[in-house]
Amino acid sequence: MDWDTLKAECLACRRCELCTDRTHVVFGQGVQTAEVLFVGEGPGQSEDEQGLPFVGRSGQLLDKYLFAIDLDRSKNCYIANIVKCRPPQNRDPLPTESEACMPWLREQFKLLQPKIVVCLGRIASQRMIRTDFSVTKEHGTFVQKNGVWFMGTFHPAALLRQGGLDIPQDIASYDALLAAVLRAKGIVAASEGEWIHFDYTPGEINIRRGSAGVTGRLCVISHELHEDAVAGLFR
């Protein structure tokens, strides 16, 4: 099946009850040559209205993290969800709804053939990595399944909800992700010594790349960290 056929079929899906209240099916967004696939839980209100994944507040936060590590949905990654229609009141998708919807994600996965899959939040992590996956305990660690590296981390909406954005915890996940991406591309040491700036004031974070010496919360990408985080990856 090609992308156009898959998308057309998916947009007409009536495999579960979530189809009755949807405004749009949120198929996914990104480039078809992406090496990194992000998987969220399911569309919220903004996503349902616009037909695109992660376009609300949590999506804006996600985009900032992605920017910090040179990922961009319009250039080099793909974003999808476990369920493609919005659950009422943003409740967790029911197991039956996830089951009904997963074949679409599997087809996307087959077409994309990503090297790295990042699961955003518990629902995606437990569905894609392990049913007892703990985001709190295991975020940022990579496991390999059939030659593809999987990582689970906090859902950006959870970080927003916490109010006290848990930046240090998530720095580790995205740092590990950057390391894995660099490793996938065969460039590990290229960014050694490069700094990522996480400037944090309550309710807002700004992340940008830059050189050392600028104020803000800094996370240095060190060669050691790469080696540690991605030991054995892509060798």
From candidates 28, 30, 40, 140, binder to ligand URA by CB under 6 A: 40
Q: How many residues bind ligand URA (CB under 6 A)?
A: 13
13 phi, psi to nearest 5 deg: -65, 140
Amino acid in position 56: G
State in angstroms the smallest separation of the CB of 157 from ligand URA: 6
Told to check if 157 binds ligand URA by CB under 6 A, we report yes
Tokens of 225: 């960290």
Told to check if 126 binds ligand URA by CB under 6 A, we report no
Residue number of the CB atom closest to ligand URA: 40
Question: How many Cα atoms sit within 13 Å of 95 on the Cβ side?
Answer: 2
Distance CA 232, CA 85 (A): 37
Distance CA 42, CA 80 (A): 8
Which of the residues 53 through 72 are near ligand URA (CB under 6 A)?
A: 53-54, 58-59
Q: Which is nearer to ligand URA, 65 or 229 (CB)?
A: 65
From candidates 28, 42, 114, 152, binder to ligand URA by CB under 6 A: 42
> Binding string, 214-233, against ligand URA, x = CB under 6 A?
--------------------
Q: Which is nearer to ligand URA, 160 or 167 (CB)?
A: 160
Told to check if 47 binds ligand URA by CB under 6 A, we report yes
Distance CA 152, CA 118 (A): 6
> Which of the stretches 9-17, 51-59, 135-143, 222-230 binds ligand URA when contact is defined by CB under 6 A?
51-59
Told to check if 28 binds ligand URA by CB under 6 A, we report no
Distance CA 78, CA 73 (A): 6
Amino acid in position 87: P
Amino acid in position 15: R
> Binding string, 79-98, against ligand URA, x = CB under 6 A?
--x-----------------
Please state at what angle helix 57-68 crosses helix 167-184, rounded to 10 degrees: 50
Amino acid in position 85: C
> Which of the stretches 11-19, 34-42, 125-133, 174-182 binds ligand URA when contact is defined by CB under 6 A?
34-42
Distance CA 5, CA 3 (A): 6
3-state class (DSSP) for residue 143: strand
Binding site for ligand URA (CB under 6 A): 26, 40-44, 47, 53-54, 58-59, 81, 157
